[in-house]
Amino acid sequence: MTSGSAGGPAPVRIVVAYGFWIFLLSDIIMFSALFATYAVLSGQTAGGPSGRELFQLRHVGVETLCLLFSSYTCGLAILAIERRRMREFYVSCALTFVLGASFLGLEISEFVGMIARGAGPSRSAFLSSFFSLVGLHGIHVSAGLLWLTFMVAQTATKGARDFVRRRLLCFSLFWHALDIIWVALLTLVYLMGAR
């Protein structure tokens, strides 16, 4: 088969990826509402601490690297499963999981530190919107880690069958989309907020 546009139905894989892409775009639209909320409220600190006092860019830089490299290893896992290199697939998935979990651990430690300083989500409108936006991204990453665990278990039990590989493709799209949202988050919240 040369191309899906030559007439006749497109391959299932293309259709599945398209459907999942539409879901991802709707997810990004939901995030855009929270981004707008944050942009409106980022100055409303109600006398509490501002982003400049709270954000530690070194910490955020490590988080960014974790997420970026986990996106890369996730891509390598997809390449490996397409070529049936199972050992490479499992190693890439394990790296993706470890890097994603490190990101999540760093984010949780940042949140715990802020709440311990009295800068929890109830302190000011700025902090409410900060915790909603960054927390929602963190929840997405947690869901992604859970999904990755399920997919590795499914690959181990059912093998690299067509439907398993399609689900893995959807997972990789999800994981890369989370990285795109993180780029926007890093720029708007942390880099602009810490200046």
Partner 1 sequence: MEQHDQAPDAGETEPLGSFASYTVGLIFALLLTGASFLVSQTHLLWAPGVPAGLAVLAIAQMGVHLVFFLHISTGPDNTNNVLALVFGLLIVTLVVSGSLWIMAHLNANMMPPSALMEMRR
- Summarize as ranges the residues that interact with partner 1 (CB under 8 A): 1, 3-5, 8-14, 17-18, 21-22, 25-26, 28-29, 32-33, 35-37, 39-40, 57, 61, 64-65, 68-69, 71-72, 75-76, 78-79, 82, 161-163, 169, 173, 176-177, 179-180, 183-184, 186-188, 191-192, 194-195
Identify which of residues 131 and 172 has a Cβ nearer to partner 1 in the complex.
172
Note whether 160 and 86 are within 8 A (CB): yes
Q: How far is the CB of 95 from partner 1 (least distance, A)?
A: 13
Q: Using the structure block, give the residue that is written with the tokens 């715990």.
A: 112
The whole-angstrom separation of Cα 117 and Cα 122 is 12
Q: Where do runs of H (alpha helix) occur along the chain? A: 12-41, 51-54, 57-82, 86-116, 125-158, 162-185, 192-193
Shortest spacing between CB 119 and partner 1, in angstroms: 21
Which residue, 32 or 109, has its beta carbon nearer to partner 1? 32
| Residue 103: CB minimum distance to partner 1, A | 14
Name the minimum Å distance from CB 33 to partner 1: 6
How far apart CA 71 and CA 95 sit, in angstroms, is: 10
Task: State the Cα–Cα distance between residues 53 and 193, nearest whole angstrom.
Answer: 9
CA-to-CA distance for 144 and 36, rounded, in angstroms?
A: 24
Nearer to partner 1, 149 or 187 (CB): 187
